[in-house]
Structure 1
C-alpha cells in the first residue's frame, strides 16, 4: 500500500483555554475525497487553517508526501501543492476575474507569466463555468460565480491537495448539482480533496470516506453512510433528546 499524500497525526491547536483541535489524526490517499464533517464550531475550519499554514499547530505533525509542513509559511505550503477556498469567499476585489487567476498562476508550483498565463487563466475560468469572463470585474459576479472564481484561482496553483471549506454552501438546487459535478470532475482528473461540508447530498455523492469532529475531537471515521448513521454523530448534530 502506498504512503498517503497527506498524513495528519496528533494535531492540536489551542486558543487560550479553548482546545479548538484536540489530537486529530487523519490521512488522505492520492486521488481520494475525504469529507471533514461536524456541527458548527467543531474545529473543521481550524484543521484546514493548520494544514494550509494560516495557523501553526501547538502539537502534532502534518506531512505532505512524507515531508513535514506544520511549521512552514502559507506561501511555501502553496508552492508545495496545497490550495484552498474559504468558508467566506475571498476574491481580490480590485482585480478582474482574469487578474485573480493570474495571481494564482504567478505564485503556484510552476510560476507562469505573460501570454501563456493569460491563456491558462482563460482555460481555468472556462473550466469552472466562467468562460469569456476574464475582463469582468469581481463586483459584477453573483455569489456562485465568486465561488467559481475562487476555485479557479486555487486551481491555478496546480495543487496536489485541494482544501474546500463549505464550497457548496448557499447554492440553489441547480447550482448545487453543477457544483457537485465540478468537484467530481476534479477528482476524475486525479486531484485529492479534503472537503468541509454540511450539504448531505454532496457528502454522499462525493466522499470516499468521512471524518467527523465534535468539540475539537474526532468522534467517527468511515464511509459516508456509516458515519451518518453513527449514534455519537447523530447526538453531536441533534442533541441527546433526538438521538
Structure 2
C-alpha cells in the first residue's frame, strides 16, 4: 500500500532549481533511500515533505492528506517526524524533557506520569536511559543524534525522515544504528533515509531514488540502482580520457 505520493514537486531559490519536477512513491513499511551527491536536492526534498519549506508547485500526499501548504506542526500531527542533518536538540532541557516535548505535537499528546514512562522507554530504545536527566547540551554529538531520534519517535510517526542520521558513527556505532532502524521497520514504521554511508544503504533500503541537480536521476531496487553507470558518474564524476 502506498503511504506517500510525491508528484512533480518543485522548489527554487532565485534562479536555482533545488527540486525540479520530483516524483516518487513510498510504500507502507519500507525503507526508501533518497540518495545523491551533495547539492542534489535531497535535504530540500525532506524539508518540503516535513513543511520546513513550502513547495512552489506539485503535490505531496500522505494517505489522502495533501501536505503542500500545511505548517510543520500540522504535518507532524498527521504522523511525519524527522531528524536533521545538523542536530537540533533543546540543550538546556534534560534528555527526558526533550523526548516529552515531542509528545506535545501528536494528537494523543501526553503529560505527567504517562509522558515520563513513555519517554524513559524511548530513551532506553536508543541507548540513552542512563542520561535521562542529563542536559541535552552536555551530550556528545553522537548521543545528541540518538536523542533527536527518540524525540522524533515520541511523535508516534507513520513516516520517519532520517537526514544522514548514520553519518559520523564509528563502525560499531554504525552496526547498532543499522539494527535500530531495522527494528523500527519491523514494527511497521515507514522510513525515508538520506544517507551517504553505502553499507547502510545496502543493508537497509528496499529501493532507492537518486537525485542529481534537483531532478530524479534513477529509481528502483537498491542493488540495481547503485550499479547504474549514470548513478556512479553522478557520485564520482565522468572518467578522464
TM-score using structure 1 length: 0.97
Aligned to 1:91: 89
Q: Give the superposition deviation at 1:139.
A: 2.5
Q: 4+ residue stretches of structure 1 with deviation over 4 A?
A: none
Distance between the aligned counterparts of 2:221 and 2:140, measured in 1?
34
CA distance in 2, matches of 1:110, 1:192: 20
CA distance in 2, matches of 1:109, 1:23: 32
- Alpha-carbon distance, 1:242 to partner: 6.2
2:43 alignment partner, one of 42, 45, 51 = 45
Work out which of the residue numbers 43, 56, 59 in structure 1 matches 2:57: 59
SS at match of 1:132: helix
Q: Is 1:12 aligned to residue 22 of structure 2?
A: no
Following superposition of structure 1 onto structure 2, how do residues 24-173 of structure 1 map, counting pairs within 5 Å?
A: 24-173=22-171
- Give unpaired runs (5+ residues) of structure 2: none
Q: Which residue of 1 aligns with 2:182?
A: 184
Q: Answer yes or no: is the 8 Å Cα contact 2:77–2:105 preserved in 1.
A: yes
**Does the CA contact (< 8 Å) of 2:90 and 2:137 recur in 1?**
no
Aligned length: 241
Alpha carbons 2:91, 2:138 under 8 Å: kept: no
Deviation at 1:143, TM superposition (A): 1.6
CA distance in structure 1 between the partners assigned to 2:196 and 2:155 by the alignment? 26
* 1:138-192 deviation digits (Å, cap 9, x = unpaired): 1221121111000000000000000000000011000000000001100010000
The two structures have a TM-score, normalised by structure 2, of 0.98
